[in-house]
Amino acid sequence: MSDRPGPDRFPALIEFTDVAMTFRDAGRSFRAIDGLSLTIPRGQFCCVVGPSGCGKSTLLNMVAGLLEPTRGQVRYDGKPVAGANTRVGYVTQKDNLLPWRTVRANVRLPLELRGVGKAETDRRTDEVLDMVGLSGFGDAYPRQLSGGMRKRVTLARTLVYEPEVILADEPFGALDSQLRTVLQGELLGLRARTEATVLFITHDLGEAIALGDRVLVMSARPSRVLLDEPVTLPRPRDVRTARFDPEYARLHETLWAALSPEVETGVPA
């Protein structure tokens, strides 16, 4: 059994109520999400998988306040999301580092934008750089870093302002399998220290099982939740050995049984 509390013991933090999202472009429209109701409890690591184009990233954008649903409501900590949600951190697929700023300057940028004092900014920047293993690279520029190091900078830039929620959109998808495993383990360690709620998008069922407390399988669009599966692998969890647990194999089979028909069918036009 997991040593984390069950979902029913977490207070709700993120809520989708009968949410629909329709996009319009060049005179055409398509509905990405329709009739989605979902609660993400505080402190939970929730992973979302689904076929391409099913609206996984749209969920994150609505929580971040970057998109407003066509119908229904997204609530954060009991209140409707209206405009940019500054209480969340967003880790995108691309690192989006500013090439003219050093590692340290990139990491401290969110604190500068919030008007945090220099002494506190310096302290928190040093702390998170050490946390992600980059304490000796503060004066380097993004062009001088490997892909994995750039991803660490992105994580540090998110963690430096201590968000209570981390929204992650396939952050490790472009990395090789060895580096992905290393960073997955580091993310679990960072999350354990910060106790942040995580909403994590991935195409990789193994990644979802290794990281999550819960996995949501989404249908092809218009998207809905096909399966809401708790992950009962114990914590603290070693992503390198989790796949050898018989429960991992059971979960993988269960999730793939729900996901594979959606992938094979494809996304309707």
Q: Is the pLDDT of residue 267 over 60?
A: no
Pair 123, 130: CB distance under 8 Å: no
Do the domain assignments include residue 102? no
**Mean pLDDT along residues 189-218:** 92
Helix H segments across 114-217?
118-131, 147-159, 177-194, 205-211
Number of domains within the chain: 1
Do the domain assignments include residue 156? no
Q: Is the pLDDT of residue 197 over 50?
A: yes
Residue 69, CA distances (Å) to 16, 164, 269 in order? 10, 23, 20
Q: Is the pLDDT of residue 204 over 50?
A: yes
**Mean pLDDT along residues 241-269:** 84
Span 1-50, pLDDT tens digits: 334 444 444 568 999 999 999 988 777 888 889 989 999 999 999 999 99
pTM: 0.87
Residue 7's pLDDT is: 43
Which structural domain, as residue segments, surrounds residue 228?
Answer: 7-87+163-265
Strands (E) across the chain are located at 12-25, 28-41, 45-49, 71-76, 79-80, 88-91, 165-169, 197-201, 214-218, 225-230
Do the domain assignments include residue 148? no
Residue 225's pLDDT is: 92
Q: Quick one: pLDDT band at residue 107, thresholds 50, 70, 90?
A: very high
Residue 1's pLDDT is: 36
Backbone angles phi, psi at 167, to 5 degrees: -95, 125
**Mean pLDDT along residues 197-216:** 95
Residue 3's pLDDT is: 42
**Mean pLDDT along residues 196-207:** 93
CATH number at residue 74: 3.40.50.300
Residue 11's pLDDT is: 66
Do the domain assignments include residue 119? no
Chain centre to alpha carbon of residue 170? 7
Residue 11, CA distances (Å) to 8, 78, 93, 166 in order? 8, 10, 29, 17
The pLDDT mean for the chain works out to: 88
Span 127-162, pLDDT tens digits: 889 888 898 899 999 999 988 889 889 988 988 888
Do the domain assignments include residue 179? yes
Do the domain assignments include residue 72? yes
Do the domain assignments include residue 81? yes
Residue 212's pLDDT is: 95
Span 220-232, pLDDT tens digits: 888 889 999 999 9
Do the domain assignments include residue 21? yes
**Mean pLDDT along residues 59-78:** 94
Residue 190's pLDDT is: 82
Q: Is the pLDDT of residue 70 over 80?
A: yes
Among the ranges given (46-50, 120-124, 263-267), the one the predictor scored with the smallest mean pLDDT: 263-267
**Mean pLDDT along residues 62-71:** 94
